[in-house]
Structure 1
Amino acid sequence: MRNAGGGGSGIHDQERDVDAEKDEKVKINRSPKVPVRLPAIVVASILTLFTSSQGVLTTLSQTDGGYTYDYGTVPFLAELLKLGVSATLLWREMRRGGPVKLTKDWRSIRLFPIPSIIYVVHNNIQFATLTYVDTSTYQILGNLKIVTTAILFRTFLKRKLSKLQWIAIVLLTLGTTTSQLKGCGAKSCEGLLVAPIQGYLLAILSACLSAMAGVYTEYLMKKNDDSLHWQNVQLYSFGVLFNGMRLSGGDFNEGFSNGVWFARLFSGYNFVTLLVVLNLGCTGLLVSWIMKFADNIVKVYATSMAMLLTMVLSIILFNFVPTLQLFIGIAICGISLQIYFTPPQQLVEQPTIPR
């Protein structure tokens, strides 16, 4: 019986609320968990497009298999572009008047030169690698950075990966290796691999450097809640500095026979070379966003999936003939991607709960 004050009604309302809350929890448990938030997926997809076109544009900028420009100037201009964009965004963020956290302690700032130095070496090795291997091979060998990233995740960031994720990483390694084996048909096999050994050594070194820089950058980005644009300004300021020092060192070693690098900054450049600079700059800004708000392995998997698009572009632009091994390697890498990011509960058929 309900009392005059409606207390009984209140009790029943509370019971209905509890039941509704239980039903909602059941719905949530039944619904698949999304491992990566939608904004991160969007940014990673855009990053895939930029990454897939990076090797293609760099190859198109070559003349007779070499560079008519000093390719060391490309990372310098890209760092300068990223610094300008980050400084502008930071200025706009501060003008809005909202709370913007800027850690100016030297103990924090002194950590940013480390990834900048690694990126300087990595960016220059990238150009050298593309003189030995085709764009699809370069893109697939870049997948090796997932293996090195996973090891560094476990070693330095103390991130634990599930057994399923380690299986995915092993599959990725197998897929990458398979794609690079040379087929032996009617023609004699002069070698097992499809590219010179120098290209593979440079690609492996590039993957290791990329993983080191990526893991360390993620640590810097997430160690505090500073503004992303402020962190980028610090990172890219050192990037401009060290790339300039690298170019100055090259001039010194050559006895300044070609003058100083900033006097010939755009020498040999064409429209495609400018697109390479723009591509490299935009890629860096997208990567920093993922490092801050998502995960480094999300980044490397996103860039790895660019290999399929790179292969299609290579077929169209360079008359590249894909091998069966390449298709198998790409398929294995795709399966690896699915396994790595699929939540374990989705791999087992969930029993239906009778109503």
Structure 2
Amino acid sequence: MQWYFVAVLLTILTSSQGILTTLSQSNGKYLYDYATVPFLAEVFKLLLSTLLLWRECRISPSTRVTTEWKSVRLYVIPSIIYLIHNNVQFATLTYVDTSTYQIMGNLKIVTTAILFRLFLRRRLSNLQWMAIVLLAVGTTTSQVKGCGEASCDSLFAAPIQGYMLGVLSACLSALAGVYTEFLMKKNNDSLYWQNVQLYTFGSIFNMVRLVLDDYRGGYENGSWWQRLFNGYSITTWMVVLNLGSTGLLVSWLMKYADNIVKVYSTSLAMLLTMVLSVYLFNLKPTLQLLLGTIICMMSLHMYFAPPNMLVDLPTQVRAAPENLKEVAVERRTDS
């Protein structure tokens, strides 16, 4: 399977995630506990990966599976990073509004590229660095509201703590992605076995989150397993399957492509979601969305196109030596 096919599929599924989540609401409210969706998505990924691993081991007995604890314990770290990241996200939203938070979230595009270069030692050309900056500018442009709106002033009105937490959130998101790519490419283990390890710890940490939510709420609505499927509809299950499928595609890209491909897929998915929302939810198209989309398309072409398609070098014409005539010049000197 080619990486660009997986990237396109990831873009489509990621863009439909926000739309499905909106459609799962009833009168603007969730009838289900939204915190149970990531948990069920992790369980879905774990079960499917286990099934695929079992099938792979039956077909190919030489499937590589590393079971030493010193290797398995490394898969705990991404779950811890994501847990910290989720708490930082909530803390950031106490200082900044939603629009500012979404715009600051584009910092993870640049921070991912920086950590990708520093920790994975992957060299990027100057054109690729320019393309990544353009991608961040394009996604930000598409999210900025009209300057005539009151919310436009709030972008630079947040306290310094909000911006610091926003930068920290972007760094944590990038770190989790880069570290996961490092794990996936660290050895030749089966992708499905690596997924089983990732999603086992992911399921455990999401379950811990549900338990903590019950504890903080004083068990007012009962324990989480008693209301696990309360309010679920067909659309809600589609949200769970969509979230689980995108996670599996991301792990495939981490194994056989890289973080930059994932960043482009998720960024373009955000633009696709905004464009589809214009038709599905009667949102008004804006000039910022049009300009942001054009900039992101230019960035995509600049990053992945061969250099000879980007730089039009003039052909050098060399004169044949036999066509040249030697001209003797006599210099007269006055006596």
- TM-score, normalised with respect to structure 2: 0.81
CA 1:283–1:190: 2 relative to 1, 3 Å: closer
Distance 2:80 2:179 in 1: 12
Measured after TM superposition, the shift of residue 330 of structure 1 is 1.6
Distance 1:96 1:218 in 2: 26
Distance 1:106 1:256 in 2: 36
Structure 1 counterpart of 2:153, from 185, 192, 197: 192
Structure 1 counterpart of 2:251, from 271, 288, 292: 288
Tell me, yes or no, if structure 1 residue 115 matches structure 2 residue 88.
no
Distance 2:166 2:10 in 1: 20
CA 1:123–1:91: 2 relative to 1, 3 Å: farther
CA 1:303–1:81: 2 relative to 1, 3 Å: same
Q: Deviations over 1:146-191 (max 9, x none)?
A: 2121011122222222111111122122223322333246xx6563
Question: Does the Cα contact within 8 Å between 2:144 and 2:152 map onto a contact in 1?
Answer: no
Structure 2 counterpart of 1:300, from 255, 263, 269: 263
What's the % identity of the aligned pairs?
61
The residue aligned with 1:15 is none
Distance 1:106 1:96 in 2: 26
The residue aligned with 2:33 is 70
Question: Does the Cα contact within 8 Å between 1:143 and 1:300 map onto a contact in 2?
Answer: no
| TM alignment of 1:1-355, pairs within 5 A | 39-120=2-83, 143-184=106-147, 189=150, 191-192=152-153, 207-349=170-312, 351=315
Distance 2:275 2:188 in 1: 40
Residue 189 of structure 2 aligns to a residue whose secondary structure is coil
Measured after TM superposition, the shift of residue 309 of structure 1 is 2.4
Q: Which runs of 5+ in 1 are unaligned?
A: 1-37
CA 1:190–1:156: 2 relative to 1, 3 Å: closer
Q: Which runs of 5+ in 2 are unaligned?
A: 318-335
Question: Does the Cα contact within 8 Å between 2:146 and 2:152 map onto a contact in 1?
Answer: no
Distance 2:111 2:158 in 1: 20
Distance 1:121 1:53 in 2: 26
The amino acid that maps onto 1:218 is: E
Aligned length: 308
CA 1:63–1:144: 2 relative to 1, 3 Å: farther
CA 1:283–1:120: 2 relative to 1, 3 Å: farther
Measured after TM superposition, the shift of residue 258 of structure 1 is 1.4
CA 1:71–1:197: 2 relative to 1, 3 Å: farther
Measured after TM superposition, the shift of residue 326 of structure 1 is 1.6
The structure 1 segments of at least 4 consecutive aligned residues displaced by more than 6 Å after TM superposition are 200-205
Question: Does the Cα contact within 8 Å between 1:144 and 1:176 map onto a contact in 2?
Answer: no
RMSD over equivalenced CA pairs, Å: 3.1
CA 1:114–1:278: 2 relative to 1, 3 Å: same
CA 1:310–1:333: 2 relative to 1, 3 Å: same
